[in-house]
Amino acid sequence: MSKPLISVKNLKKYFNVGWRKTLKAVDGINFDIYPGETFGLVGESGCGKSTAGRTIIGLYEPTDGTTTFNGKNIYDLSRNEMQKIRKDIQMIFQDPYTSLNPRIPVQDIVAEPLDIHNIYSNPNQRRKRVIELLNLVGLGEEHTNRFPHEFSGGQRQRIGIARALALNPKFIICDEPISALDVSIQAQVINLLKNLQKGMGLTYLFISHDLSMVRYISERIGVMYSGHIVELADSEDLYADPIHPYTQALLSAIPIPDPKKQRDRYRIILKGDILSPINPKESCRFESRCPYVLDICGRKEPGFKKVKNNHFVACHRANEIIDGTLNQSRNPY
């Protein structure tokens, strides 16, 4: 396998939320993303996945850890060096209604990265490049002088994608790019991203809580829970054989478009309270909701270990789950 384009090591992002209170939004995550790959990051709302994306790109200053891009830790770079790296790392934001400036036309929105990096001094060349970008995402020259309020949600997200592509980046963070869109539009945007990836050799970090879409677009997937990555595996392996109890519960919630199969399937309902990410104790974050919890789960945080080929899990009972010898030793409910 080639060297990773992005390597995230022990990344942490904490927020001070009061007197001696620290919210550990991202608490020591690790993963690599390889050139041309789509790495999916999934989890429930509030698990820290969007914060992780914003910290990786540098919108948030990390509390600890490193993000290496092409062998360089981007947090150690000078301002000028970071400016150069910015050309290669871009972001597509979650909400197309708030990520576009409502006061300027589409031409200037898409050209903003070009202007910041002084790519074109000739206005005709600048306009030509904007039209090329709009054509790439399914829009045209007639859209250049319109304002964001004149577009639908799907069209606005296409404008955001065009802006992210302006500098020919190598790596794009897609922060829940379809969650604010109608279901009928979501597949169009996902297929657009896949086609752009194939044509331009892009690498994606795809953040979402839509498990079906993540499976469709991603080669590998990390499952995030309360600031930690609890499982990481190849996409098909993760969906066919989930190991962590949280992943099993998460995947059991995916609806099946067959009424009979949907009625007969086993749905895992999680009980218990979600542990607060503010000043958490050194334990498994899933302890309060896990049906397989042991005493050690409340005393010691499980290590993130390799259990199969390209399959990593943070669970004290992972081997028992794999062997099928697991019993509910202590029910926390």
Q: What is the pTM of this model?
A: 0.92
Instruction: Give the integer Cα–Cα distance in Å for 313 and 319.
Output: 10
Tell me the per-residue pLDDT of 232-280, one tens digit each, with 9 for 90 and over. 999 999 999 999 999 999 988 877 777 776 677 777 888 888 888 999 9
- What is the arithmetic mean of pLDDT over 165-187? 90
Residues listed for the chain: 333
Contact between residue 329 and residue 292 where contact means Cβ atoms under 8 Å apart = yes
- Please determine, for residue 188, whether its predicted confidence score (pLDDT) is greater than 80: yes
Q: What pLDDT score does 327 carry?
A: 59
Tell me the per-residue pLDDT of 55-86, one tens digit each, with 9 for 90 and over. 999 999 999 999 999 989 999 998 888 888 98
At 316, give phi and psi (nearest 5°): -65, -20
